[in-house]
Amino acid sequence: MTAQVPIPATAASRRSYNRNTRRSNLLTVVMWLCVLYFIVPIIWLFVSSTKDNSDLFTTFGLWFGNDFNLFPNIIDVFTYKDGIYLRWGLNTIVYASVSAIGASLLATMAGYGLA
C-alpha cells in the first residue's frame, strides 16, 4: 500500500478569482450581439406564425398582426394535401433514427477495431 503525497498548490491556483478584474466589456457586447443574432429569428418565427397572409406582408415583422391566427394556421398546416406534413415529419424521424443508429454502429466498430 502506497501513501499519497499531496501536490503543493501553485501560485496561480492560490490566487482568488476576482470577477471585476476578469470582465471584458467588449466580450460582453459581442456575446449580447450573438444572443440577439440567434434569438431574434426565433421570435420572428413565433410572431409570424400568428398572422394570416395579409398581415404577414402588411404589418411590422416583429409584432403581432390584427388577428391572432396561430391555431387556424396550425390546422391549415396539418390538413394541407390530406396531411402530407405529418408524412414529412415521419420521414424525418425515420431518416434521423436510421442515420443515428448507423453512425453509432460504425463508430462502435471503428473504436473496437482501433482499440
Most distant CA atoms of the chain, gap in Å = 80
With CA atoms as reference, report the closest residue to 67 among 47, 83, 52. Answer: 52
> Which pLDDT score, from 0 to 100, does residue 8 have?
64
> Which pLDDT score, from 0 to 100, does residue 21 have?
62
What is the rounded CA–CA span in Å between residue 107 and residue 46?
Answer: 38
Confirm if 67 and 53 have CB atoms less than 8 A apart.
Answer: no
Q: Is the pTM of this model over 0.95?
A: no
Angle between helices 84-114 and 70-79 (to 10 degrees): 80
What is the rounded CA–CA span in Å between residue 110 and residue 115?
Answer: 8
What is the rounded CA–CA span in Å between residue 64 and residue 54?
Answer: 12
Residue 46 is placed in which grid cell?
Answer: 413565433
> Residue 38 half-sphere exposure, CB side, CA atoms within 13 Å?
5
The pLDDT profile of the chain, 115 residues, written as one tens digit per residue, is 666 766 666 655 555 655 556 678 999 999 999 999 999 999 999 999 999 988 888 888 888 888 899 999 999 999 999 999 999 999 999 999 999 999 999 999 999 999 8
At 89, the amino acid letter reads: G
